[in-house]
Structure 1
């Protein structure tokens, strides 16, 4: 990329064409490794406190020349260099989730500005939705939305369109994704899914009208047709039809379409967690390949994305931004994902000795591994 900087410049042939202390390659490396300090401190750290440290104004000027999707391109090219070797029953296992990121205060931006009702003041946020490989603990993709207009489900649909699986792939999602629209998008794709459903007694559950077995454990197939027609012949047969009003988001039937029917089919399992709580899982995986026990084990892997997001935000420092400008904030979100994946790749090279028995299973300290990997990165910078 450094040799072809013109491809990633806003003014090809002009930007990054002159000799400078901050050429294109150094700018990418520097932004990837920035942490929670001021720009001047980050520059001094990167240049090892030499007498040739450029000014913060020069850094801002140089980063403004970089095309918006440069770091996204670098992130995906980096991932392609290290394909995943791990499978679960022959499937790639991905998980999706999202998180809010506080950004510098800007009351003039209605899409990100939030007035809190809990007397904690006003603030601005972006919401980032992630796609994550649970075996390699690496991020695959993300979608960045202003907090006031975000939708994790539509973000997932976008990431599904952009991801081209080479193997059979399962996406695991929490109950925030248990909507007819999401299930329909999966039906129209090549992906398999495992989604945690809301309790059937929840007022917002899409399954409260389903005719389900009255037992503590079941594994059944559910099928019906969706329609926006509210006629009596549809409403009187909830076991066969689900009627959607015009305000419900469903991408496969237009709001004013009263004639179309969309068939929905999925497998639903229920099992007991404790004396008074149950789990509901929705999937299109065959019960010949995946028993209820397999699905429970598979869904447990989703929790790794929550741990990863926490380490990405706080160990990598993805919550620390160095500008109010939207394009610069997005640069840093993608840049930190590159750094996170780099650190995890190095951490996976650490040998863990399981031959000696201990009271507890030995595991890698990813917090320490990230700290060491960041230190290695700063010493092998471009």
Structure 2
């Protein structure tokens, strides 16, 4: 944008922004009355510096035209407010035609009874479980889980190879971060005919090339139909929905989903993955992750609100931070099934073996209740519904 700033004694301070590629798109904001300086007078260079700070706006200053009376004084925080107002006004001017188009857009009314039923709607519900040990996998299966997921690190820790995991029906969960060096250990798990849960685009590309079925993990947030379609065209065979998605959004996605939909209905959501070991804040790093005693302990961070958030660091020095409270979406299983979600996950990453079994049984009972027209049990005490009813703004 071309920037114009006008500071005349006794008149309102004014900032005008004009798009370089379309001078018809322009916006002006006025603010405080310019007064004489009580100490140091403002110079043109000061206004260039402070008006030119576009902050979080989508604009970048290309040129400046400053009209400034001698001896003017002003607070730069007030200057920033006027510039911010000009940015907002210009953004609104740019978007105005699209706002008007949105108002006049006629969306088709879809009737669930008459619209074509996607193929995945016909699938039977499947209870899934992410576990960290073979004992937990057996506990999950004993209570009705039909799909078991384990990270590649967990699989290696129990001595299973990619072929072993395939034979035992365990889906390898690949990292949400994959640098070039990580491909050396991750790629051997991606084989033709196998199913893998991918955490990023590079793993999806490898899976498509190898002929593997790729399930999109929730760390690749899918919030709209075009995103799903684009990923499906590139090899995605299923989608695990983000824990930040609302029930209304899930319902809107279900009818148009090009592949199976799943969501975690019980467990603690992962809220952050750190490329660096969070445990280093304890000042006990020995620079040997395999023998780190801190890594073997169940440690947590307490945030400024007093919430205790579990931290787990893997063998590669990569940390994962989990929510302070578990989610329990089993009361919403009927609505999720109606929306086309057919894979219901218990995330047992932070659960003991017996807890995994109880969680899977809870989901199984919720599915049975939904199928027989009964209401599932109320939410587990201490658990939340996550973002199911309150979206993230």
Q: Give the alignment's TM-score, normalised by structure 1.
A: 0.26
Q: Which of the pair has the greater relative contact order for Cα pairs under 8 Å at 6+ separation?
A: 1
Higher Cα Rg, which structure:
2
